[in-house]
């Protein structure tokens, strides 16, 4: 048996306003809370016991996932009194772990969509006898990430957080947010105070001479921390580009959940998801977007690469491109919202009140 810890307690500030009422791992991607995909992938890799490390809006996880049996898992929940950061959260759930001191424990960030071969990460860990093994992926522009250079055997040589100068960018390998820890090492993380696993635990272990092993796996990988990435990830799940056993339906150009109503002449493409009870009006076109449950898209609206929150309304002929509309917001008719615009939960935009001009 392999057991896993899922870190799901972050505030998800970059994803606001989607995370005002809902913690990031519970925002629906391809029709189900994003966390479902991670749990289903962990189960498919042989994980049976998962501890969720919760903090922000902790109370919403258990009512949805219960004891985990619907996913074939045994789920436990541990809530921090104060947010303890990634390392502190791992240490905080240690009493719930069942592995023997030398056995591997998987740890996943709760906001990464990836095709990582989880079994291969565990095998690499065992074969190399590492203390910690990390999934590494390669990115074109590593500046926003933690760089993890390795030697020719894959052993980690340094941790460089968010490098800026060209001299600091010594590799394109980044920390991809999935780890295997030797069980006994988790107890060495200080208890009862915030600890960052990326900034404190990993560099500290390296300085003490611990064996940290990197495994580069360059299959699908996306950090769903921003609205643009979240919408992209959801569409990729629907299109079948990102693998998950939990997509509720066949992969294809669109996913329409059972109680949604879509006008026969509306066009849904590019991995668009229409949630439970949502309504898409006549002649509307929705591309690569997520329309959450109960939202209403009125006739003739054109929506591209955008996310429309629960119960929100998009008025007739309104155009959204790269926009995020918070839960319950109402965007009147004939508006034009582009390029990263975020409309807050419950906000009301009158008819024809916003126009986009490229001359400004
Ligand atoms: P931003 O605020 O937008 O940066 O998002 P975030 O709060 O999720 O932070 P980040 O993306 O750095 O977190 C990485 C992972 O660790 C996510 O899965 C978070 O849910 C989780 N996480 C971050 N801080 C904490 C914490 O204090 N406690 C717990 N339990 N999880 C955390």
| pLDDT value of position 206 | 96
| pLDDT value of position 251 | 83
CB atoms inside a 10 Å sphere around CB 330: 17
| pLDDT value of position 359 | 57
Domain boundaries, the chain: 3-223, 253-349
| pLDDT value of position 358 | 59
For the chain, residues with pLDDT lower than 70 are 1, 357-360
| pLDDT value of position 339 | 85
| pLDDT value of position 69 | 96
Q: Ligand 1: distance of its center to the CA of 146 in Å? A: 15
Q: Ligand 1: distance of its center to the CA of 58 in Å? A: 13
| pLDDT value of position 263 | 98
| pLDDT value of position 141 | 87
| pLDDT value of position 170 | 87
Three-state SS string over 272-300 comes to EEECCCCEECCCCEEECCEECCCCEECCC
From the alpha carbon of 223, which atom of ligand 1 is closest?
11
From the alpha carbon of 92, which atom of ligand 1 is closest?
30
Q: Ligand 1: distance of its center to the CA of 175 in Å? A: 14
Nearest protein CA to atom 5 of ligand 1, as residue: 12
Nearest protein CA to atom 10 of ligand 1, as residue: 10
Nearest protein CA to atom 19 of ligand 1, as residue: 10
User: What architecture is the 253-349 domain classified under in CATH?
Assistant: 3 Solenoid (2.160)
Q: Ligand 1: distance of its center to the CA of 325 in Å? A: 23
Q: What residues line ligand 1, using a CB cutoff of 6 Å? A: 7-15, 24, 53-55, 80, 83-86, 89, 109-111, 225
pTM of the predicted model as reported, rounded to 2 decimal places = 0.93
- Residues 272 and 4: their CA atoms lie apart, in Å, by 31
| pLDDT value of position 55 | 94
| pLDDT value of position 150 | 97
Q: Which CATH class is domain 3-223?
A: alpha beta
Q: Is 267 considered catalytic here?
A: no
Our measurement of the distance from residue 166's CA atom to the centroid of its chain's CA atoms, rounded to an integer in Å, reads 29
């Amino acid at each position: 048996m392999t057991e896993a810890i899922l870190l799901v307690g972050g505030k998800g500030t970059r994803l606001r306003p989607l995370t005002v009422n809902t913690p990031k791992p519970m925002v629906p991607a391809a029709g189900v809370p994003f966390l479902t995909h991670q749990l289903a992938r962990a189960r498919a890799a042989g994980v049976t016991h998962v501890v969720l490390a919760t903090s922000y809006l902790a109370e919403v996880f258990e009512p949805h996932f219960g004891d985990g049996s619907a996913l074939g898992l045994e789920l436990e929940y541990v809530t921090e009194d104060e947010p303890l950061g990634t390392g502190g959260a791992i240490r905080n759930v240690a009493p719930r772990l069942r592995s023997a001191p030398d056995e591997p424990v998987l740890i996943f960030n709760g906001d990464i969509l990836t095709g990582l071969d989880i079994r291969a990460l565990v095998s690499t860990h065992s074969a190399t006898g590492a203390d910690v093994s990390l999934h590494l992926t390669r990115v074109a522009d590593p500046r926003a990430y933690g760089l993890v250079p390795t030697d020719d055997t894959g052993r980690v040589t340094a941790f460089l957080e968010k490098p800026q100068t060209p001299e600091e960018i010594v590799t394109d390998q980044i920390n991809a947010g999935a780890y295997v820890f030797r069980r006994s090492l988790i107890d060495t993380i200080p208890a009862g105070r915030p600890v960052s696993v990326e900034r404190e635990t990993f560099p500290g272990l390296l300085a003490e001479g611990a064996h940290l092993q990197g495994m580069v796996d360059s299959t699908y990988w996306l950090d769903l921390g921003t609205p643009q990435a979240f919408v992209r990830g959801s569409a990729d799940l629907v299109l079948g580009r990102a693998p998950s056993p939990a997509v509720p339906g066949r992969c294809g150009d669109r996913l329409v959940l059972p109680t949604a109503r879509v006008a026969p002449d509306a066009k849904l493409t590019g991995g668009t998801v229409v949630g439970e009870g949502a309504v898409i009006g006549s002649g509307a076109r929705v591309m690569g977007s997520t329309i959450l449950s109960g939202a209403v898209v009125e006739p003739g609206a054109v929506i591209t690469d955008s996310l429309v929150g629960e119960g929100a309304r998009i008025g007739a002929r309104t155009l959204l491109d790269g926009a995020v509309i918070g839960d319950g917001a109402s965007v009147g008719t004939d508006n034009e919202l582009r390029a990263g615009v975020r409309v807050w939960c419950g906000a009301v935009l009158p008819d024809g009140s916003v126009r986009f001009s490229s001359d400004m």
